[in-house]
A and B are shown apart, each in its own frame.
Chain A
C-alpha cells in the first residue's frame, strides 16, 4: 500500500468565549504511530473531531495526502470517538456490516471485512450477541473493529487504551503497529505516557489549544536538558556546588542530582566526585516522556 499522510494545519475553534483550539498543526506520515498527548481539556478531542469532519473548524485545514479532506477522503478514515458508541441492541456482526456499508463497502465486502475483524479480535463466539450483552472489554474490541472494518487509509483514535485490561492493551498495540507498518498514518490520544513512549514514533503535546512540542520521542527527550545522578560516600557537604555547566537539583545524604546543560561535560563531574570520595553510583538519566510532559505543561502554567 502506498503510504498516506494526514495533516492538520492551523486549526482554530471557539465555543462561545472559550478558545478550544488556537492554531493546532501537526502531520502524521504513513507508517507512523503518532501519540497525541495533553491534559484534560487541552483540545485533543476537538482536534480529532475536526479531523473526521464531525465538527467544523472556525479556520484551518485538514489534509489527506496533501489535499484538503473531503467527505470522500474522510470515508477512508477510521475513527474511535472518546465517547464510545454502538447500537446497544444490534448484534456484533450486523453492527459491523452496517458500519462498513455506511463507509461505502458493497454488502459482500462488508460481510467479509466484518468476519475478518471479528475473528482477528477474538470475537468469533460473540458475533451474534447484542452489543449490550457483551463485557466492557469485548465492547471495546467491537469498537476497535468498527474503526477498522472498512479498511481505512488513516486511523484517528481518541483514547483507545482507556479502560482496557492489560491483555486488550497488547492486542490494541499490536493492531496499531500492524496498521502503521502497512503504511497507514495512525494518530491516537492517550494519558498513558509510558505507553505512548513505548509505542509511538512521534508525539505531539498540546496545551490549552496550542501545540507545545511535536517531534520524535528520542529527539524530544534528548533535546531536553538531561540529568545526572551521582552517589558519593564520604564526600564533604557542598562538594558539587562550584562545578561548571551543572546545577544541583537536589542533594540528599550521599546522593546528588544535577541538571546538565546541553553540551556540558559530565566527565568533569565524575573527576570531582572521585576526588571528593568513593563513587558508588554514576548515571546519566534521560528524562522520560512523562517528565518532559510535566515540564512543558507546567512551564506554561507558571506566571
Chain B
C-alpha cells in the first residue's frame, strides 16, 4: 500500500501496532477472567505441590519410637538408615501404653525395645522391609561383635569395620540419571502449561477477531490502519498477556515447590522455564495467526467454534500423543521425530529439554522449522484475514478467502 508521509496525520505502522497491542493488554489484564484464571492455575499447582509433600514427604520419613534399653540405638539407627537412603526420625517412648496409642494414631511407624542383641519391634500392621533389614543388620552386628570378643579376637571393632567396608562393585551399561524422575515431572508440567497457554491465548485471538467482525467495528478501524497492522497488534497484545500469565504461574510453581522441599532442581526448573518462554513465543505466534485467519472466516460468535475446533484438535492431538510418548520414553525415536514437526514441537520440545537429552542439532532444527512455519502461517493467516475480515454473512469458504 501507499506509504505515509512524514508531516504528521496518519499514524506510523509501528505506532498503530503498538496502540492496538496496548488496547488488548489494557482490557485483558484488567478482566476478571484473567485474574481468576491465573489464581485458579496457581491454586491447582499449589494443590499438586501439597500432594507431593504429603505423599513423599510423609512416606520417605520413618518415625521410630525407642523404648527402654533400645534408647541408646538412636544415633546408630539414624546413621545406618542413611546408608540405606532411608530417613529415620527417632523419639523415646516411656511405656507400652504410649507405644500402642502412638502407633494407632499413626504418629509412629514402629516401636523398638529390648537390648541390641535381642531387638523386639512393635508395629501397627506391617514392618517396612527396609527398616526390618536395618534393625536385623544392627542386631547381627551386635551378636557378631560379642561372639568375636568371646572367641578371643583382640579388636572385634576393627574386624567388623573391615567386613562392613566390603562392597560389591557395580558397573552400569547406562547410568540412570538420579534426577530423571524430577526432570520428567518438570517437563510434563511445562508441556501442560504450554498447551494451556497456546490453546487459550490462540483461541482468544480468534475470539477477538470474531468480536471485531461481529460488532462491525473493524470497518471503522480499517479506515485508518492496514489489516496486517491490526492483526499483528492484536496477536502481540494477547501474546503478552499469555506470556505474563505463563511466567507468573510457572514462577509461583517453582517458588512453591522449592519452598516446600518437593523440588531440589530449581536450576533445572528455571532453565526449563526459560526454554518454555521461548517455545511459548514460537508456538503462540505459529498458532495465533492460524487462529486469526480461522476467526476471520465467520462473522458471529456462534459460528466461531466450528472454525476453531480443527485448529484446537491439532494442538490436543499433539499434546495427548506427545505426552504419552514422553511418559514412555522421552528419548525414543517416536518422541524425537514428533518433536521436530513444526506444529507439535512448541509443545514437545520444551518437555524433552526438561526430561531428557536433546541434541543441539535437534533443537536448532526444530526452532528453524517452527520459524519457517511461522512465516508460512503468518502469510496464510494474514491473507485469509485481509480477504475475509470485511465479509459479513455466512461462514466464508477457506478457498475463497485465500483467493481474495
Contacts and interface: CB of A to CB of B under 8 A. Distances in A.
- A and B are interacting partners: yes
Interface of A: 49, 52-55, 70-77, 79, 81, 83-90, 98-99, 101-104, 146
Contacts of A70: 2-5, 10
B224 interface: yes
Contacts of B4: 70-72, 75
Most-contacted residue by chain B among A49, A89, A101 (CB, 10 A): A101
Q: Chain B interface secondary structure, helix, strand, loop or mixed? A: loop
Given A71-B2, A75-B11, A102 B225 contact: yes
Contacts, number: 83
B219 A103 contact: no
A81 B11 contact: no
Given A72-B10, A75-B11, A85-B216, A102 B27 contact: no
B217 interface: yes
A89 B9 CA distance: 28
Interface in B206-248: 211-212, 215-226
A84 B9 CA distance: 24
Contact of B215 (A49, A73, A88): A88
A89 B4 CA distance: 31
Contacts of B212: 87
23 contacts: A49-B219, A54-B219, A54-B390, A55-B390, A70-B3, A70-B4, A71-B2, A72-B4, A73-B9, A74-B10, A74-B224, A75-B9, A81-B216, A83-B219, A85-B216, A85-B219, A86-B217, A87-B212, A87-B217, A102-B16, A103-B11, A103-B224, A104-B8
B1 interface: yes
Contacts of B219: 49, 54, 81, 83, 85
A71 B10 contact: yes
B223 A83 contact: no
Contact of A87 (B3, B19, B215): B215
Interface in B366-404: 390, 392
B132 interface: no
B23 interface: yes
B224 A102 contact: yes
Contacts of B216: 81, 83-85
Contacts of A52: 223
B215 A75 contact: no
Contacts of B9: 72-73, 75-76, 104
B23 A98 contact: yes
A11 B216 CA distance: 25
A75 B224 contact: yes
